[in-house]
Amino acid sequence: MEKNYVIGIDFGTDSARAILVDVSDGREMASCTSYYKRWAKGLYCDTTIDRYRQHPLDYIESLEEVLTGVLSECPDKGKVKAISIDSTGSSPCLADANLKPLSLYPEFSEDPDAMFVLWKDHTSEKEAARIIDLCTSGEFSNYICHTGNTYSAECFWCKVAHVLHSSDVLREKAVTVIEECDFIPALLTGCKDVAELKTSRGVSGEKWLWAKEWGGFPPKEFFEALDPVLLPMLDHMPDPHYYCEEAAGHLCEEWADKLGLSTDVVIGVGNIDSYSGAVGGGVAYKKMVMNMGTSACYIAVVPTEVMAGRLIDGVFGQVDGMILPGHDGFEVGLSSFGDAFAWLRRLLSWPIEQLLPEDADPGLKKKMTERILPALTAEAEKLPLRLEAPLATDYFNGRRNPVLNTSITASLTRLKIHTSAPELFYAIVESTAFATKAILDHMDSRNVAIDELVAVGGVAQKSPFVMQLMADVVQREISVSATKNAGAMGAAIHAAVASGLYPSVRAAQEAMCPPVISTYRPTSDKARIDLLMKRYERYLDLVHFTEDQQHA
């Protein structure tokens, strides 16, 4: 194949990462990461009410930084054929008639409700509950059947309703709403008309209540009953929607001049980060890709003809073509994964941050904080497995699957006066493994075939302790992909297809997906397995207890 390059960009929770890829073999020629400057300062967020907002300038500045970074190492800019992106979702933002986020106007530049409402923002739980009530009351069709018969505060319409009610001025200025994964391609192509916006089929199918079987969005009568404030937005929403292997357009002159690229460069339709990571990890029928980041998103696909219209209860994402063409996609996982480990690190680093002298070397504070998780891991590995050891649930940011519940909270039990920090860390890691087993058991009982597990992400590559414990608990082999940027690699694969360099996603995957670098096999120690399964049963009891307490 002729030497050509594509760029994949992954807009994650904390940063944007870009990779320059040789399409002939998937080799990463360059990579660049840019951390969101305002987000890093904690601006516009309030963790006490689960409010997480991001300013569009963080995305715009990081986009330019990562593109400039990888292009500075490009052997020949004339060989760059396409750029595709993925992002968190649903992360919507109120916008004007030209698709400009309202927070880019001076009068709204410090208003969190004019910014992108990040995926893990849970301020709209009441609005989500109202959607569930309407769809299950019998008054309307069940428009949440593709989301496991539930709807989440992490989804689109409840977030939009919530921010629209925050301000009369915002409501008057807002014309439409744009998702993060659609905003970046629109920016790069210079699209300023919602009628021309090629929005992502993946995000609309899972987060927007959009489906072919009821002709797109639910009818206006549904939205009028839900909240009339949404009707003007509904009138200015893009339709139809497009798959991520399609082209959104070409690089506009402004960005072409800024980057030194041709306007012939194809810009792909945007995608959700977990879906893109699955493609970058080689997802296929019976092969689940486990994205292990701040949260954990486990992606599986089944040929559409095999599903034959069948839907799975308790599984949030079920949309045709959202991962691979001709397949129904399933998104399951944990709402907090790395976030749970980070919580314990923050807890234990409090004395470091608060009690060291003000004139202490900042580098020393950072070094001490960074050593906490490695030290906990080393000690947790030495702990004997005990039935009566501390036990935890993983719901630090609610539960994603099975059966979504964004308001449920994490639990720690069996604590004693001698309980140590490594024991707490072990319990949290074990809880993520138990949650994964519950998900896999749920899928298996619903006849969703999963024969192979492939893990991607920093934890998968850096923590043998976490991966081996998970393999032991789920009693399956777990392979680890060599890719360090699965989301960006998936975006690069889609860019290669959108620009016509490969005829299909599957063909591009076969040429570009990195190989497996390690495999974790479950223990053959029967006594250890039996003890883990007894602890798993106690974990399930703790889950039920936590659910009961929530409704008490």
Please state the domain extents for the chain.
Answer: 5-281+483-516, 338-481+522-550
What would the DSSP string read from start to end of 234-289? Answer: HTT---SEE-TTSEEEE--HHHHHHHT--TT-EEEPPEEHHHHHHHHTT-BTTEEE
Could you report the per-residue pLDDT of 283-304, keeping only the tens digit for each? 999 999 999 988 999 999 999 9
> What is the pLDDT at residue 400?
87
Could you report the per-residue pLDDT of 436-445, keeping only the tens digit for each? 999 999 999 9
Which residues have CB under 8 Å from 226's CB, separation 6+?
130, 131, 134, 157, 161
Residue type, 336: S
Residue type, 10: D
Question: Is pLDDT of 401 > 80?
Answer: yes
Above pLDDT 90, what percent of the chain?
87
> What is the pLDDT at residue 175?
98
Report the largest interatomic distance among the alpha carbons of the chain, rounded to a whole angstrom.
Answer: 66
Instruction: Of 193, 198, 128, give the one whose Cα is nearest residue 156.
Output: 128
CATH class of the domain at 338-481+522-550:
alpha beta
Q: What is the CATH number of domain 5-281+483-516?
A: 3.30.420.40
Question: Is pLDDT of 527 > 90?
Answer: yes
pLDDT average, residue stretch 178-197: 97
pLDDT average, residue stretch 156-174: 97
Could you report the per-residue pLDDT of 223-273, keeping only the tens digit for each? 999 999 999 999 999 887 899 999 999 999 999 999 999 999 999 999 999
Between 201 and 488, residue with greater pLDDT? 488
Question: Is pLDDT of 517 > 90?
Answer: yes
> What is the pLDDT at residue 360?
83
> What is the pLDDT at residue 77?
98
> What is the pLDDT at residue 1?
66
> What is the pLDDT at residue 117?
98
> What is the pLDDT at residue 366?
87
Between 318 and 218, residue with greater pLDDT? 218
Could you report the per-residue pLDDT of 469-500, keeping only the tens digit for each? 999 999 999 999 999 999 999 999 999 999 99
Is the N-terminal amide bond of 185 cis, ω within 30° of 0?
Answer: no
Q: State both tokens at 294.
A: 């701040």
pLDDT average, residue stretch 169-190: 97
pLDDT average, residue stretch 181-196: 97
Give the containing element (helix H, strand E) for 346.
helix 338-348
Mean pLDDT of the chain: 95
Give the Cα separation of 343 and 481 in Å (integer).
Answer: 26
Question: Is pLDDT of 316 > 90?
Answer: no
Q: pTM, whole model, 2 decimals?
A: 0.93
Instruction: Please tell me if the domain spanning 5-281+483-516 has the same topology as the one spanning 338-481+522-550.
Output: yes
Residue 31's pLDDT band, with cuts at 50, 70 and 90, is very high
> What is the pLDDT at residue 147?
87
Looking at 54-63, 92-101, 147-156, which range is the least confident one?
Answer: 147-156
Beta bridge partners, 8, equal 19, 84
pLDDT average, residue stretch 295-322: 89
Q: What is the dihedral of CA 377, 379, 382, 384, to 10 degrees?
A: -100
> What is the pLDDT at residue 319?
85
Give the Cα separation of 477 and 454 in Å (integer).
Answer: 9
What would the DSSP string read from start to end of 29-87? Answer: EEEEEEE-HHHHTTTT-BGGGTB-EE-HHHHHHHHHHHHHHHHTT-S-GGGEEEEEEEE
Asked if 94 and 170 touch (Cβ cutoff 8 Å), the reply is yes
Asked if 437 and 473 touch (Cβ cutoff 8 Å), the reply is yes
